[in-house]
């Protein structure tokens, strides 16, 4: 137990010593990866062969089985498009973020957009193997919200 407490203490100390720009860049990158995984998971549910298929119509019978409609597919991808669009703005802003400058406003926008995208994914919770993944990504977003408090 003492070892665990010591390990937790070391992690917290190390985390506090990380510059805020580094924390913001790493978390933004992690969110981008998490959303990319969510996109791949949704496309695997929607399409029989996601590597070659695209569009607003799901072809995978599994989507019907879990009641994942074409409308939900489109809404999910629209939310993802918004989130990725914000990341396209945020990444250069973070790159050019100098010490002493206020943090990019798009950081807050990214978290909101990521939350919106995950809310759509939650629609399939409890019905597919992606439910656990979505649950964990939700925790990831919560972690980032805590970190964002340090960035401000």
Partner 1 sequence: MSTAQVNAWIQVATTLIEVGYKAEGLIKTLIAAVHPGMSEDELAVICDDVLADATVRQAMADRDSGAA
Which is nearer to partner 1, 44 or 66 (by Cβ)? Answer: 44
**Least distance between partner 1 and beta carbon 137 (Å):** 6
Candidates 45, 113, 124, 144; binder of partner 1 (CB under 8 A) is: 144
Centre a 10 Å sphere on the Cβ of residue 58 and count the other Cβ atoms it contains. 22
d(CA 81, CA 42): 14
Q: Is 58 left (phi over 0), alpha (psi -120 to 50) or beta?
A: beta
For residue 60, give every residue at least 6 positions away whose Cβ sits within 8 Å of its Cβ, in sequence order, or none.
44, 45, 46, 47, 48
Candidates 33, 65, 67, 126; binder of partner 1 (CB under 8 A) is: 33
Which is nearer to partner 1, 66 or 74 (by Cβ)? Answer: 74
List the alpha helices (DSSP H) in the chain: 2-16, 20-46, 61-65, 70-95, 106-121, 130-151
**Least distance between partner 1 and beta carbon 151 (Å):** 12
Candidates 44, 62, 74, 122; binder of partner 1 (CB under 8 A) is: 74
Interacting residues toward partner 1 by CB under 8 A:
10-12, 14-15, 17-19, 21-23, 25-30, 32-37, 39, 43, 46, 54-56, 73-75, 77-78, 80-81, 84-85, 87-88, 90-92, 94-95, 132-133, 136-137, 139-140, 143-144, 147
């Amino acid at each position: 137990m003492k070892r665990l407490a010591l390990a937790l203490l070391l992690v917290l100390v190390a985390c506090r010593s990380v510059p805020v720009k580094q924390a913001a860049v790493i978390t933004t990158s992690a969110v981008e990866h998490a959303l990319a995984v969510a996109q791949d998971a949704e496309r695997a549910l929607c399409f029989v062969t996601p590597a070659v298929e695209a569009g607003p119509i799901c072809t995978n019978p599994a989507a019907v089985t879990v009641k994942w409609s074409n409308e939900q597919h489109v809404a999910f991808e629209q939310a993802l498009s918004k989130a990725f669009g914000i990341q396209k703005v945020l990444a250069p802003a973070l790159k050019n973020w100098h010490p002493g400058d206020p943090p990019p406003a798009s950081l807050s926008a990214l978290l909101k957009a990521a939350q919106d995208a995950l809310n759509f994914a939650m629609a399939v919770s409890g019905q597919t193997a992606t439910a656990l993944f979505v649950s964990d990504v939700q925790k990831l977003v919560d972690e980032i919200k805590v970190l964002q408090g340090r960035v401000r």
